[in-house]
Structure 1
Amino acid sequence: MKRKMEDRKRRPRSLTRVGCNAKLVTPRQEETGRLFVKDFIDQHSHPLAPRDFSCLLRSHRRISDVQKADIEDMEKFGIRKYHIMDILCIQYGGFDKVGCIKRDIYNFSHANKHETISAGDAKTMIMHMM
């Protein structure tokens, strides 16, 4: 039984925007090509994240090239993604030192697999068999 679009309801999501006025505007000078600070407002309307939790902020999360290569290798050996995160935590000395979260690993793996397959299914299979 297929549901109609009118019958579908979305769960209400929590409010994530707080109308913060803080900003940093840095345009580039055309003559020199250098950036300069045009506008800076340091007045936040919300409490800032504690330094211990800043590694969880989306703007601070990155998977390094070395980590990407490690993740690809571990996937080739059949290690599950949630175990990959555990291994990275052990290698780097803690969850806060890895630089990404488990969801980032899933997203990277999906994008990497999609990129590999985009070359062509048959071609990818032949390269894999070789």
Structure 2
Amino acid sequence: MYVSLNRNTSKWVVKKFEENHNHVLHLPEHSHLLKSHRMVSEAQAINIDIAADIGLSLKASHDLLSAQAGGKECLGFTREDQKNYLRTRRQRSLKFGESGALLGYFRNQAAQNPYFYYAVQLDKEDMITNIFWADHEMITDYALFGDSISFDTTFRTNKEYRPFALFAGFNHFRMTCIFGAALLYDETVESFEWLFKTFLHAMSGKKPITKGKRMQDNGTLIEPLNQTTEHLLSPKYSRSIIRID
């Protein structure tokens, strides 16, 4: 359709109209999949929050909501929309919740100790996603005992089940040393790559020399960022080995 403004009448006039569509029209039963037709209502958002808080998986909660609505075509949103809603909620809590308090603590520590290191990853909307930190003692211990290190993300810190990651190793007395810690948004390849690069930057580029295999975390293979270094030995209970670099 082509329209133009008639300056004499100050009205828009249709100059050309093409009745034939250049694509196949969506069937009525598929209209709920159109982005313009999808929306999570306030009542549905409450049910999604409850399902997430009690630990129901995304698929299970989406299937339950679909059944309650009379079918997926009546639900009004897709599983991806539900995932995006939960992501937005988690990002908001990261900005204004415990992570906001952590940032305030880190700023104070950095002001008192110039060797205190912390880094924050933001998304395109400037929302906090991942946080890493290491104090002077951690950095010093890594310089001395960082040839072989373990990496663990099995601990969940709060009701949002965000991974708390630890880089650890042993000193010459076989006592555990913590080399760094992170509060992650998720366990995706992107989050791990950011974390490993940040860790190496904090440690002045020193890489572990322990050799190992690549780790597959929750079915996702994390490839090395380059081929020069092989990797982080994980704790015995995780039974995984990961490359960083």
Which consecutive unaligned segments of at least 5 residues does structure 1 have?
Answer: 1-21, 26-35
Q: Does 1:89 find its partner at 2:55?
A: no
- Partner of residue 50 from structure 2, selected from 60, 68, 73: 73
Return the letter of the residue paired with 1:111.
Answer: T
- Partner of residue 107 from structure 1, selected from 84, 89, 92: 84
**Could you tell me how far 1:120 is from its partner in structure 2?**
3.6
Which consecutive unaligned segments of at least 5 residues does structure 2 have?
Answer: 4-10, 103-157, 160-245
Distance 1:85 1:121, change over 3 A: same
Return the letter of the residue paired with 2:93.
Answer: T
Q: Does 1:52 find its partner at 2:18?
A: no
**Could you tell me how far 1:123 is from its partner in structure 2?**
6.5
Distance 1:67 1:37, change over 3 A: farther
Distance 1:100 1:56, change over 3 A: same
Structure 1, residues 71-108: CA drift from partner, whole Å, max 9, x if none?
Answer: 01111111111111100111000010000111111111
Mapped to 2, the partners of 1:56 and 1:79 lie a distance apart of 24
Distance 1:124 1:106, change over 3 A: farther
The TM-score, its normalising length taken from structure 2, stands at 0.34
Mapped to 2, the partners of 1:124 and 1:91 lie a distance apart of 39
Return the letter of the residue paired with 1:81.
Answer: L
Runs of 4+ in structure 1 displaced over 3 angstroms?
A: 36-43, 122-125
SS in structure 2 at match of 1:82? helix
Q: Which has the higher contact order (CA 8 A, sep 6+)?
A: 1
Mapped to 2, the partners of 1:80 and 1:124 lie a distance apart of 29
Provide the residue aligned with 1:62 in structure 2: 39
Structure with the largest fraction of helix:
1
Root mean square deviation, CA, Å? 3.0
Mapped to 1, the partners of 2:75 and 2:96 lie a distance apart of 31
Structure with the largest fraction of strand:
2
The TM-score, its normalising length taken from structure 1, stands at 0.61
SS in structure 2 at match of 1:78? coil
Return the letter of the residue paired with 1:61.
Answer: R
* Percent of residue pairs identical: 24
